[in-house]
Structure 1
């Protein structure tokens, strides 16, 4: 069974390709290599022993998207990761984000809508909740006005999929709202490799630990939390990747209750920035050079998932601890710097 993974050489996409191949799926990857290197293909192959089909393509080209689906009419499902994802960059260049994250989604859905039956998994985000009124956050929590153009593209993306599913019952979709993916594959063949200065906490921690960055800035220690730093739900990327396969199988096996469903993906536990630093120091044996800096605008105080729905409906649960994830992230960092 052939599955298309867009953005399949990215951080979460590459780990999902591995899980799909290990489950026996035939995978086609589309990636424009704007935020990933072609060498990720070698890492995937080293783990699975299978070379996925790779197409270098920019999904903003509507004609090429149309031609691709004509050439690959046997695709049974799509997992859509391809999107720009840096919050700060989205504030500075909103039109890039709206073009890249919205138009590409529309072009893919237009092609899937022509099929007799189509299954679609969307890479969404907990950013749709903003600062939630209650913790942990359930799927029923109100979607707050987005804090950034990036967050807005996830909200609008979900609305586009829902509206399309409402009029096209042949299209079945699941939006996965994930919290904070971290870590790397335990083999250290693939992991998170941001281009330029990392936007996320864990790669900045590991790059500081290995000496690539001089110091880590912790943005604010005066939040109303136990140690004063922000709290997030950090989920191991392999656990997250497995959830995408489970969600796809739910659609393929007709286990879904509606043709558009939403699930939170997290551990159900919040960890503060200082707890993550403590975990890194524990598993690496390295003392991290960090300083307390001013709060960042737009940072919510705390966000962690209620995963009851995913646990019960998907039969999926995160297995790895924070220490497991930090161990794999450090192993990956050490390997790529050799």
Structure 2
């Protein structure tokens, strides 16, 4: 199958490329490298011993995107490209709407012009907002509380409406919880720009000496140890979920939202302790006041993914931390800047 992958040079995209190439798919990556690296693509080629097309471009450039899709003539699209920092989205919301919503509309238009009616979309559990009940299932109300989440919810709705008016179209909206970890080789992994927005890459940078201490925001939540708990999923499991979603989309019409998580919660302290075991040294941290908007607990109901996709996660917390540490210790400064 010919698969067009936006944002394929990013963290989740690059791991998914490994799975796609291993399954024998022909791939074209479209990326502007704002959240990814051409070095990651070079390493994907080495790890997979396969080649792929690469087009440097921005999904906000409607003409360039349409040209790339038309030239490749894909059977399906996996759409990763987008901005993804909750805090930043509060500061520059228009940029988030332009990239995440208008960019997705540009992609759907390009797909229409090329006769492609099959898409797997990189969404987020952020669309659920405050929990009305746990675990989050796919019928939980969608009520995001920040611009990032609202752009993901809006892009989901655009895609859903597109399937309703496009004969034969199918879409799978994968709502990620908290992707972590790295490829077993340590050659590709998460390389956030600036201060990490997520817990594990921050812990990894403390462990490798790039940052002095971790701040744990609150230890008085109603959880096992007082720290917030989240559903963390290994990025390799997440990549496998994309492959399963791609296969599923070939046999159905319409739009399905599907959670991708483990269905279990891990506290901040539990993750920090597991990372200390992985790297063989303590992780220094300070307890600081809670952040506004943080919730005590968030985790997924995952039965729909198992029922529709035949997919279940394989890796536990220790495997997540060990793979992350292998990546971070082998690449303490992330991917090199040189192309």
TM-score clears 0.5: yes
Query: Is 34-43 or 99-108 further displaced after alignment?
Result: 34-43
Report if aligned partners of 1:41, 1:51 keep a CA contact under 8 Å in 2.
no
Q: How many Å apart are 1:70 and its aligned residue?
A: 2.4
Q: How many equivalent pairs are there?
A: 333
Counterpart pick for 2:214 among 209, 213, 216: 216
Report the CA distance between 1:169 and its aligned residue. 2.4
Q: In 2, distance between residues paired with 1:107 and 1:294? A: 42
Q: Which moved more, 1:60-69 or 1:203-212?
A: 60-69
**Most deviating of 116-125 and 146-155:** 116-125
Counterpart mapping for 1:47-58 below 5 A = 47-58=47-58
Q: 1:116–1:170: 8 Å Cα contact kept in structure 2?
A: no
1:8 aligns with 2:8: yes
> Aligned-residue CA RMSD in angstroms?
1.2
Q: After TM superposition, give the deviation of residue 53 of structure 1 in Å.
A: 1.1
- Alignment check: 8 A CA contact 2:69 2:114 kept: no
In structure 1, distance between residues paired with 2:187 and 2:52: 15
Determine if the alignment matches structure 1 residue 320 to structure 2 residue 319.
no
Report the counterpart of residue 336 of structure 2 in structure 1.
Answer: none
Alignment partners' CA distance in 1, 2:211 and 2:116: 49
Q: Which residue of 2 aligns with 1:201?
A: 199
What's 2:278 paired with? 283
Picking from 238, 242, 245, the partner of 2:243 is 245
CA contact (8 A) 2:179 2:232 kept: yes
Any runs of at least 4 consecutive aligned residues in structure 1 with deviations exceeding 3 A, and if so which? 114-117
TM-aligned CA deviation for residue 116 of structure 1: 4.4
1:152 paired to 2:159: no
Q: Are positions 1:92 and 2:91 aligned together?
A: yes
Map of 1:25 onto structure 2: 25
1:65 and 2:60 aligned: no
State the Cα distance separating 1:284 from its structure 2 match: 1.8
* Cα distance in 2, alignment partners of residues 76 and 48 from structure 1: 21
Equivalent-residue separation in structure 2 for 1:115 and 1:45 (angstroms): 27
Write out per-residue CA displacement over residues 237-275 of structure 1, whole angstroms, 9 at most, x where no aligned residue: 0000010011001122x1x3x411111110010001111
Q: Structure 1-normalised TM-score?
A: 0.96
Picking from 164, 183, 186, the partner of 1:185 is: 183
1:163 corresponds in structure 2 to: 161
CA distance in 2, matches of 1:52, 1:70: 16
Q: TM-score, normalised by structure 2?
A: 0.96
Shift of 1:207: 0.5
Could you say which residue in structure 2 is the equivalent of 1:225? 223
- Give 1:300 deviation, angstroms: 2.2
Shift in Å, 1:323: 0.5
Name the structure 2 match of 1:40: 40
| Mapped pair 1:120 → 2:119 | yes
Tell me if the contact between 1:117 and 1:170 (Cα under 8 Å) persists in the aligned partners.
Answer: no
Partner SS state of residue 176, structure 1: strand
Map of 1:82 onto structure 2: 81
* Partners of 1:186 and 1:317 in 2: CA distance: 19
Q: CA–CA distance in 1 between the matches of 2:141 and 2:175?
A: 13
Q: Deviations over 1:124-153 (max 9, x none)?
A: 111111121211111111112x22110111
Contact 2:174 2:258 in 1 (8 A): yes
Alignment partner, residue 111 of structure 1: 110
- In the alignment, which residue of structure 2 is the partner of 1:140? 139
Q: Indicate which of 314, 326, 330 corresponds to 1:331.
A: 326
**Structure 1 spans left out of the alignment, 5+ residues:** none
Cα displacement (A) at 1:114 = 3.5
Secondary structure in 2 matching 1:123 = strand
